[in-house]
Structure 1
């Protein structure tokens, strides 16, 4: 438990610091004065002032905040602070400042993946056929176990994972394969067929297949700077896409909301990943960073996405949302978040009692 608590504090501390640092950097670049940059809430344990900004480490390490000059609409601002007031900046500048927090969470994920790939490389599944299923297009075309898939439609195959991806994008069209067998290159023509299967969410789907199974062998590949960055961006994009799809499926009922987890589950998983090693722990931080970035972009008042929604309404109508309406929407947003927190805590507690 103690190990998980420490790991949880480290994870939350890193994620919140990066998120608030994004707001801070964007604010300073847009000429907005920052009065307080705090990691954590509650009583201040450490504080140091540099210029106008007071940097703080607070007692409750489960959050943080950046307090900007003129951040609250309608607040009184000294005439000399008008130029450095958040409220008096353009809609574009305010939007950049607000969006910078979530986007810095995405940048953190890219950075973590980049470091991992740069120093450790990647392991790829060998494009070697381990099994050919009977009465399938691959069996009919003459593919045999041990064949190495070299190309499909003139696209070089680097990993076995490339094969189903190319087959899926062909939508059943005839594909030209080049396979290596006994040091000889053989050209084969294969037409995929639809077959029942399951997606990553366990849902029943139909997908195009040719009827081969990989050998399960893998190889290590070192990456240069460009390749590491390319894989980092690709993986971060994949996590964003998968997370958004998961949210949509929870909303339409395809996935049970019981899968949602809160702080207790995060603490448990953080402890497990920390024990598994630094690479696992770093990957877990990247995963949570993507989730935090996406959640903060939801158009719920109180969250960054809610503020962006207000700015969008102002841009369309030509006038800002009234203070009274803003206050009501923020209260509603806060109530939604409290309800969500109660729900995920309930899920966590149920999992604990069920041994999950």
Structure 2
């Protein structure tokens, strides 16, 4: 329940911030160009909060449904306009002014992403070094000559420091060049060059982890069934278990890892277990009776102990990237550009059928992603905000009527032909735009629901 609440609150914060930034772009440029703004609303539906500026008369509104927003401007096409206000009506401005006002929304999304990424780099970004734990036989990585223990150093001309860098660059460079030049450092410390064939973009962009699809398993901390910190009132501590005990067997069953041990404990509420442990190189046989606790409609066993964490192994592979103000903004600009280009390429592959439509996510997946990133810290949450902002900016630039990009397309036509696109054509385009957006939302919700039940 707490996880759902965190995801919901994180989603509301993320969408509200990004919508506000987007609409502020329209708002500020409209005011700078002399258009009369009537209302600035974050959200749709019932008004939760409203403030009317005594100087400008603009209504500032926060509404109940935080899935969008709008800036209402004076426009003769929507309502009669007094003669003295006609020069301030949106429709009476030059096509270049209207183009600038509409383009400002997506532009501010990209500007916000630069600031979010820059802030992330100033706070400090943590990640794991791109060390390979396993290579699947006969996979693309295996055929390229990659081996367990290798650390990825460079993909084409791009240096990679973490697995996040590696995954994004493998996709981006794979789409661009097909075969990528990959530099690795072997366990002996030697640098070697290999060619990785990523020309099969359908495989690379199918649903799922791209690293898994090419046969790479990244190094991750494997949680052994070893006892760590005890909670207050721990059943295990009360029955003689100590931190550092390694669980070998439970009721004659060999315990594989921590998750296996957790399942065995959960299945024994108030039931005695015969446990074989390894303590200071000695095998001991002990008994353990987990406490019975209620979890929803189920009664499960619990012993009140966390797993032992090999912090030395993590610290040896942990990379922390922290930059000064100027370098952070330089990297923020580069990261925003890279992510924008990659998103546009992926959209192109979706249109041509080379990428799976299952990669399209809706609000449920975004909420889950936002919730996880919020719990991981401010830097990770800022990265999530930047990604969502870039996605909304690019989505709004698509030449689809109803979106900013559709209006910009009409304005470009107007610049060429010297007159506005007819209202009949705009009305027909609006109908097509509604159908396309409805179809996209249905697909996104369908994917979300499929992920929930899979």
Q: Say whether the fold is shared (TM-score over 0.5).
A: yes
The one-character-per-residue Cα deviations of 1:85-140 (angstroms, maximum 9, x if unpaired) are 111111111111101111111111111111111232677969x9xxxx9x999xxx
Residues 194/57 of structure 1: CA separation in 2 closer, same or farther (3 Å cut): closer
Query: Does the CA-based 8 Å contact 1:124-1:221 persist in structure 2?
Result: no
Deviation at 1:3, TM superposition (A): 2.3
- Match for 1:245 among 339, 345, 360? 345
1:94 to 94, 98, 120: 98
Task: Kindly provide the CA deviation profile for residues 48-99 of structure 1, in whole angstroms up to 9, marking residues without a partner as x.
Answer: 11122111111222211100111x6475321111221111111111111101
1:35 aligns with 2:38: yes
Query: Residue 428 of structure 2 is aligned with which of 301, 310, 328?
Result: 328
Larger of the two Rg values belongs to structure? 2
Q: Is the 8 A contact 1:101 1:293 kept in 2?
A: yes
Where does structure 2 lack aligned partners over 5 or more consecutive residues? 132-140, 180-187, 206-218, 220-315
Which range moved further: 117-126 or 83-92?
117-126
TM-score (norm 2): 0.61
Residue in 2 that maps onto 1:196: 197
In the TM superposition, residue 199 of structure 1 has moved relative to its aligned partner by 7.9
**1:147-226 to 2 correspondences below 5 Å:** 194-197=195-198, 202-203=203-204, 217=317, 219-226=319-326
Gaps in structure 1 of 5+ consecutive residues: 138-144, 150-154, 173-180, 183-187, 205-213
For 1:9, which of 9, 12, 33 is the aligned residue?
12
Match of 1:301 in 2: 401
Secondary structure of 2:386's aligned partner: helix
The count of corresponding residues between Structure 1 and Structure 2 is 327
Query: How many angstroms does 1:323 deviate by?
Result: 1.1
What SS is found at the alignment partner of 1:41?
strand
* Aligned equivalents of 1:267, 1:333: Cα separation in 2: 25
2:82 is the alignment partner of 1:81: no
Q: 1:244 to 1:197 in 2, by over 3 A?
A: closer
Are 2:120 and 2:380, in contact at CA under 8 Å, matched by a contact in 1?
no
- Tell me the CA shift for residue 338 of structure 1: 1.1
Q: Secondary structure at the match of 1:321?
A: coil
Paired residue for 1:311, among 411, 414, 419?
411
CA contact (8 A) 1:23 1:101 kept: yes
Q: Does 1:347 align with 2:436?
A: no
Q: Check whether the contact 2:144–2:195 (CA below 8 A) recurs between aligned residues.
A: no
1:106 to 2:92 alignment: no
Q: Is the 8 A contact 1:41 1:63 kept in 2?
A: yes
TM-score, length-scaled by structure 1: 0.76
For 1:255-274, what aligned pairs fall within 5 Å after superposition? 255-274=355-374
* CA-CA distance at 1:224 after TM superposition: 2.2
Corresponding position of 2:121: 117
In structure 2, how many angstroms separate the alpha carbons of the residues matched to 1:328 and 1:248? 25
Paired residues of 2:40 and 2:72 also in contact (CA < 8 A): yes
Whether the 8 Å contact between 1:118 and 1:224 is mirrored in structure 2 is: yes
Work out which of the residue numbers 58, 78, 81 in structure 1 matches 2:63: 58
Partner SS for 1:62: strand
What is the Cα deviation at residue 347 of structure 1? 1.5
What is the rounded CA distance, in whole Å, between the counterparts of 1:269 and 1:156 in structure 2?
27
RMSD: 4.3
How far apart, CA to CA, are the structure 1 residues paired with 2:372 and 2:333?
A: 26
Greater CA drift, 259-268 or 234-243: 259-268
